[in-house]
A and B are shown apart, each in its own frame.
Chain A
Amino acid sequence: MTSELDIFVGNTTLIDEDVYRLWLDGYSVTDAVALRVRSGILEQTGATAAVLQSDTMDHYRTFHMLERLLHAPPKLLHQLIFQIPPSRQALLIERYYAFDEAFVWEVLGKKLSKGTKKDLDDISTKTGITLKSCRRQFDNFKRVFKVVEEMRGSLVDNIQQHFLLSDRLARDYAAIVFFANNRFETGKKKLQYLSFGDFAFCAELMIQNGTLGAVDSQMDDMDMDLDKEFLQDMKELKVLAADKDLLDLHKSLVCTALLGKLGVFSEMEANFKNLSRGLVNVAAKLTHNKDVRDLFVDLVEKFVEPCRSDHWPLSDVRFFLNQYSASVHSLDGFRHQALWDRYMGTLRGCLLRLYHD
């Protein structure tokens, strides 16, 4: 007696969250059944392994049929074939587009092209995430990227509108797309201590302040690309590091203001020039694509690491950056106040986020 055909179709499509997770994680039916058996479900329900097998197959088949629709979530809402309550639809979409931190680490800032896909095998081996799951996550990134690439308007809004993701997930995707588009280097050893959340936070700040859409809401276009003009203008900031008088003045202003308020005052005083030069140079160099990619490496190298080696507490870093940024307004010889504010506004946020162990 062999089972030739075995199906179950409900008027309301049954979605088993646990099986969905196993499917998303890329397990084969056999592996999924084994994992379910291990979860003790047989004991809880008194079912047999055959029942579990049949159930798992059914769900897998359903998910397979749903996958086509999940590629364009609005279709899932309008299609007539599967009757799924809205809350379940949201769950299906949200889970489908969710990704593993370990995986996103590997592809963040990389070009989402076919070439990279060949590397999925390596990523799978490295992270222990099944190849299938890697492929789904990668394809999700790529799909979202493709759809919003040429779109005007807010990146997050576009993603939300076309993929019906939650706010949180849409923001994450915005970050991924932004990183992929600008190809930020994230893979360096130095950056290993950072989480995806840190990068996503920075990406959001940068999208808000550093892109074309940020300056001129009228032409709200291209949230993905950094504002070239802005980057060009930032060359002007170089004077803060190059002009020795200005640098000294800046330092004295900061030191006066922070005297007694900073636990690490002496270290700050000793390091001020290095830190300031580092931050200003990062800004000034951003005209080159190569340097844009290395932005995070530079920030960590030039600022986070020196401070950390001196054991600055986070509160001191915050005091310092606030003062460092504000004091520039008192520099009479400096004309690019607005530019500086835009740069430091973003940078301060990023640095504070990046500053941890």
Chain B
Amino acid sequence: MPGKLKVKIVAGRHLPVMDRASDLTDAFVEVKFGNTTFKTDVYLKSLNPQWNSEWFKFEVDDEDLQDEPLQITVLDHDTYSANDAIGKVYIDIDPLLYSEAATVISGWFPIYDTIHGIRGEINVVVKVDLFNDLNRFRQSSCGVKFFCTTSIPKCYRAVIIHGFVEELVVNEDPEYQWIDRIRTPRASNEARQRLISLMSGELQRKIGLKVLEMRGNAVVGYLQCFDLEGESGLVVRAIGTACTLDKLSSPAAFLPACNSPSKEMKESPLVHPPSHGCRSTHNSPIHTATGSRLTQNFSVSVPTLIYTGMGSGSAGKEGGPFKALLRQQTQSALEQREFPFFTLTAFPPGFLVHVGGVVSARSVKLLDRIHNPDEPETRDAWWAEIRQEIKSHAKALGCHAVVGYSESTSICEEVCILSASGTAAVLNPRFLQDGTVEGCLEQRLEENLSTRCGFCHIPYDELNMPFPAHLTYCYNCRKQKVPDVLFTTIDLPTDATVIGKGCLIQARLCRLKKKAQAEANATAISNLLPFMEYEVHTQLMNKLKLKGMNALFGLRIQITVGENMLMGLASATGVYLAALPTPGGIQIAGKTPNDGSYEQHISHMQKKINDTIAKNKELYEINPPEISEEIIGSPIPEPRQRSRLLRSQSESSDEVTELDLSHGKKDAFVLEIDDTDAMEDVHSLLTDVPPPSGFYSCNTEIMPGINNWTSEIQMFTSVRVIRLSSLNLTNQALNKNFNDLCENLLKSLYFKLRSMIPCCLCHVNFTVSLPEDELIQVTVTAVAITFDKNQALQTTKTSVEKSLQRASTDNEELLQFPLELCSDSLPSHPFPPVKEHLESASSNSGIPAAQRATSVDYSSFADRCSSWIELIKLKAQTIRRGSIKTTVTVEKASPVGDGNFRNRSAPPCANSTVGVVKMTPLSFIPGAKITKYLGIINMFFIRETTSLREEGGVSGFLHAFIAEVFAMVRAHVAALGGNAVVSYIMKQCVFMENPNKNQAQCLINVSGDAVVFVRESDLEVVSSQQPTTNCQSSCTEGEVTT
């Protein structure tokens, strides 16, 4: 009985004419929550009714509050026949359930009808009175905050990052129920919308429960997806990272140590009793092998990481408190976790110690009907299997955790490809537990100094490398080994030293497959997958080299399955990491050396490739300074490039086979042209046109090398569908078509946004789907951000200084150093020796670079590796792909500004009109500070038409629908009192058409975080007026007071 929901219907406007005779409408409103319905009076003959209703009050459980959406239906009263529905508004009241977010939802909402689209607007006020509930057996998880943002939200500080949470719920799809044959499309669509809304609510509540069990208070990097499995049902699943967040409340840069949240945590019990009423079983953490591995002398009395098993429904979870601070212990402790995964892509400074490489796993499944929605075990088991595999891959790379983790599916008829990918990494245990750091001061110092290049250093044992890779000494610190090429799924760490600018790199691939049924189909797909993965990888490598770069960030490989083809699309942001070796060129070799003209042709191609590389280096300003041997001090081996794809398992064989991507042990990356196919490949390499001057693009949050964003942003979605002519369906033609489609799409974007030059397309997110036999659909969402060309150089110069200042405060704010440490390390901050900067582009903490991280104990590595091989040998039912790991060369670090987007003179905002809601897929808004998170936006819409031609054909239909979706998102944000959506993502855009019947249908699922932001220029005024309010300094990127 813990809540009272109050709703008031104020007015409507721009209603459609429902009565042809009078050209007016007699509108009234039904307000429904759960099973209770209220009605307003009928407001006669008006298109702008003023209902001004009483407060409708619903007394409900908080469980319902979380699950159910508020449903508002606007109808036209008809005396003689049934009342006609005008449209509906669904309002998710979740943001009202936690204290810091919105207190009231009030504003104009578009009235939406699945057949007619938006039909006028309605003004609604919603409030919730929550009563405190001390019932510990409760089912609700009110109060747990959700963030789509895949980094610690600005204006919060991570006290503990607990780890992975996941959940899925299944149900029958109303579209496939028998009743659908007799009900109207509208009723069917509304049933689906409502069901998904309900399932999302339930899912979120269940995830919240898990978070509470882990003693967390928030989920960061929350990603919810739905799988339309057709006949077999509807799956809504979500993953996220449980955290304990602390709101940064005072602008004081230095927090007294006694305020540290570690205190609170000390009081928290070591062992949580398993909470009741939760379906999944969570074992209470016990000291298992973890304890025995404790080799250090100091003991930590405070339980920190409560890394409870996070699987739902599936058995065999391990749990245990995590106690140690050393990496080795973290490692062992994390091994005890079922899934040491993190959906975050950006981390607090110092969190990421080493990065191993990309790990990914795929599995082909045949869908069967979900018989009992309450027992979603099959789906759970599938995902558990895949996650297990990811975990093993990470282990093989010597990593105990996976960051930048994500999951996706592709469904065609009854075949489903489940994919998971992430970046194997070694994490700093400090964040996985509370801030008790007494006694481990040294440890931290060691960890800290390698932040600039540390993440590049290999986490695996050199002697026991899981795959052949070429290692060199780090070009930055010269002490540790680094791979030759680094692939990751995360964002570029802000303290990484990058030379030049980054760019978007895409690998695109199509493979025809025969139409088949059931198992034959699944087998065919599984057989194709390894080849696709190999080729995608090769393409990425080639393109990366062609750009003269050595690392990929934000890598996202999407494999889409269709009736008669498979599509692969990999997007990533290429950069030149100063710590890694210089990539070698691409060598072309012919198979028939005696043919003179052929030779000539080859050399011509070679020249073209070399020219392209040179041109790209110039374009992206990649000019690593030459360093002489003396400075280096130690002999550096000849840089060689090689890459390997490690395949853990194939379906047919029990052997562990390895796909060697290195093309033999050659000194340079060699492309052998032995047939026309290879020729095509080389040609296609050269067809990618760089963006026009003034344009940059990347798929990560921020563009490496650009740090002077101005405030103009433009988020957009672009959709293209092409029809292939069935005559020319060869792999080659297909590849060309697909390549052209993507390239043309990009070209169009550059053209459309030309008025924003100089600008950068950030977070470019491509999604491919194959709605029908010969249709390819590509959906792109991205944001264009303008930047100031002239400021670039100045900012670079001062960035080192700035980062030092910032680092000192960051440490206090984010790392929660105890006071002693602060006083120790602070004096050294303002005037650190200049030499250090030049050498290592300044270590973030300002701690003398002389101290190095202690070597890590990898003794157990070989064991783990072999056991992992055993493990994968055992499971051979499904097709999995192994981890792709690539590794190459080195250069010196230049003091390029850290990736911080500083806006030193925030230009005046052009459109400061009330009601403007910005949308961006990024977690920040350039030139502004986010002062408040209002809650998660998670919306699902269906639109259908039976008059496609009249609505302007498929383009007109979808254009209008997407515009409407944007409008509804903005309206909800505005009603919450927000002025922007960050981390916006269009997770699904399923479009189906039947032009012969003049029909089309589209489903769209979007999410993001509603926020309040304040322009930096405005903020200064505000802060001078009321210096104690909110969190200005804490959510700043550079405005830290010194």
Q: Mark B959-983, 1 if CB is under 8 A from A, else 0.
A: 1101110110011000000000000
Residue of A7, A64, A65 contacting most chain B CB atoms (<10 Å): A7
Q: Does chain A have a CB within 8 A of B135? A: no
Q: How many angstroms from the CA of A54 to the CA of B747 in the assembled complex?
A: 11
Q: Which residues of A are found within 8 Å of B793, using beta-carbon distances?
A: none
Q: Which residues of B are found within 8 Å of A61, using beta-carbon distances?
A: 952, 955-956, 959
Q: Which residues of A are found within 8 Å of B13, using beta-carbon distances?
A: 78
Q: Does chain B have a CB within 8 A of A81? A: yes
Instruction: Say yes or no: A80-B752 contact (C-beta < 8 A), given A3-B721, A5-B954.
Output: no
Instruction: Say yes or no: A1-B740 contact (C-beta < 8 A), given A9-B959, A80-B970, A80-B971.
Output: yes
Binds B, one of A44-52, A118-126, A182-190, A234-242: A44-52
A45 to chain B, nearest CB (A): 6
Residue from B108, B722, B910 in contact with A4 in the complex, judged by beta carbons closer than 8 Å: B722
Interface of A is mostly: mixed
Q: How many angstroms from the CA of A85 to the CA of B959 in the assembled complex?
A: 20
Q: Does chain A have a CB within 8 A of B723? A: yes
**Which residues of chain A from 209 to 231 have any CB-CB distance to chain B below 8 Å in the complex?**
none
Q: Mark A42-72, 1 if CB is under 8 A from B, else 0.
A: 0001111011101101100110110000000
Q: Mark B707-746, 1 if CB is under 8 A from A, else 0.
A: 0000000111111111111000000000001001100100
Instruction: Say yes or no: A8-B955 contact (C-beta < 8 A), given A1-B725, A51-B747, A80-B970.
Output: no
Q: How many angstroms from the CA of A5 to the CA of B1002 in the assembled complex?
A: 13
Residue of B722, B955, B962 contacting most chain A CB atoms (<10 Å): B955
Residue from A10, A46, A58, A86 in contact with B715 in the complex, judged by beta carbons closer than 8 Å: A10
| B110 and chain A: residue at smallest CB distance | A80
Whether the pair B721, A5 counts as a contact (CB closer than 8 A) is yes
Residue from A4, A11, A54 in contact with B775 in the complex, judged by beta carbons closer than 8 Å: A4
Q: Mark A294-311, 1 if CB is under 8 A from B, else 0.
A: 000000000000000000
Q: Does chain A have a CB within 8 A of B121? A: yes
Q: How many angstroms from the CA of A128 to the CA of B682 in the assembled complex?
A: 53
Q: Which residues of A are found within 8 Å of B748, using beta-carbon distances?
A: 8, 51, 54-55
Q: How many angstroms from the CA of A5 to the CA of B721 in the assembled complex?
A: 5
Instruction: Say yes or no: A2-B962 contact (C-beta < 8 A), given A45-B692, A75-B14, A80-B108.
Output: no
Q: How many angstroms from the CA of A32 to the CA of B737 in the assembled complex?
A: 27
Instruction: Say yes or no: A81-B964 contact (C-beta < 8 A), given A1-B722, A47-B751.
Output: yes
Q: Mark A94-108, 1 if CB is under 8 A from B, else 0.
A: 000000000000000
Instruction: Say yes or no: A5-B720 contact (C-beta < 8 A), given A10-B715, A11-B918, A45-B751.
Output: yes
**Which residues of chain B from 945 to 960 have any CB-CB distance to chain A below 8 Å in the complex?**
952, 954-956, 958-960
Whether the pair B118, A81 counts as a contact (CB closer than 8 A) is yes
Q: Which residues of B are found within 8 Å of A166, using beta-carbon distances?
A: none
B188 to chain A, nearest CB (A): 24
Q: Which residues of A are found within 8 Å of B110, using beta-carbon distances?
A: 80-81
B494 to chain A, nearest CB (A): 26
Q: Does chain A have a CB within 8 A of B823? A: no
Instruction: Say yes or no: A11-B725 contact (C-beta < 8 A), given A1-B737, A80-B108, A83-B970.
Output: no
Whether the pair B913, A46 counts as a contact (CB closer than 8 A) is no
Instruction: Say yes or no: A86-B754 contact (C-beta < 8 A), given A1-B725, A4-B722, A9-B718.
Output: no
| B968 and chain A: residue at smallest CB distance | A80
Instruction: Say yes or no: A11-B715 contact (C-beta < 8 A), given A46-B692, A85-B913.
Output: yes
Q: Does chain B have a CB within 8 A of A12? A: yes
Q: Does chain B have a CB within 8 A of A243? A: no
Whether the pair B720, A83 counts as a contact (CB closer than 8 A) is no
Whether the pair A11, B723 counts as a contact (CB closer than 8 A) is no
**Which residues of chain A from 1 to 25 have any CB-CB distance to chain B below 8 Å in the complex?**
1-14
Residue from B717, B720, B751 in contact with A6 in the complex, judged by beta carbons closer than 8 Å: B720
| A80 and chain B: residue at smallest CB distance | B967
Q: Mark B107-141, 1 if CB is under 8 A from A, else 0.
A: 01010000000100100000000000000000000
Instruction: Say yes or no: A2-B723 contact (C-beta < 8 A), given A9-B959, A50-B744.
Output: yes
Whether the pair B958, A7 counts as a contact (CB closer than 8 A) is yes
Whether the pair B963, A47 counts as a contact (CB closer than 8 A) is no
Q: How many angstroms from the CA of A78 to the CA of B963 in the assembled complex?
A: 15
Whether the pair A9, B752 counts as a contact (CB closer than 8 A) is no
Whether the pair B715, A65 counts as a contact (CB closer than 8 A) is no
| B689 and chain A: residue at smallest CB distance | A46
Residue of A51, A52, A61, A83 contacting most chain B CB atoms (<10 Å): A83
Instruction: Say yes or no: A83-B917 contact (C-beta < 8 A), given A8-B752, A14-B752.
Output: yes
Q: Does chain B have a CB within 8 A of A196? A: no
Whether the pair B721, A9 counts as a contact (CB closer than 8 A) is no
Q: How many angstroms from the CA of A181 to the CA of B945 in the assembled complex?
A: 43
Whether the pair A7, B751 counts as a contact (CB closer than 8 A) is no
**Which residues of chain B from 762 to 803 have any CB-CB distance to chain A below 8 Å in the complex?**
775, 777
Q: Mark A160-198, 1 if CB is under 8 A from B, else 0.
A: 000000000000000000000000000000000000000
Q: How many angstroms from the CA of A75 to the CA of B752 in the assembled complex?
A: 27
Instruction: Identify 17 new A-B residue pairs, CB closer than 8 A, beyond the known A5-B719, A45-B751, A48-B747.
Output: A3-B723, A4-B722, A5-B721, A5-B991, A6-B721, A9-B717, A9-B962, A11-B714, A47-B750, A51-B748, A55-B751, A61-B956, A65-B960, A80-B970, A83-B917, A86-B911, A86-B913
Q: Which 4 A-B pairs have the closest CB atoms?
A: A5-B721, A85-B911, A10-B716, A4-B721
Give 21 pairs: A residue, B residue, CB < 8 Å, sorted on A.
A1-B737, A1-B740, A1-B741, A3-B720, A3-B723, A5-B954, A5-B958, A6-B721, A7-B720, A9-B962, A11-B714, A11-B919, A13-B963, A14-B714, A52-B751, A64-B952, A80-B118, A80-B971, A81-B967, A83-B916, A86-B911
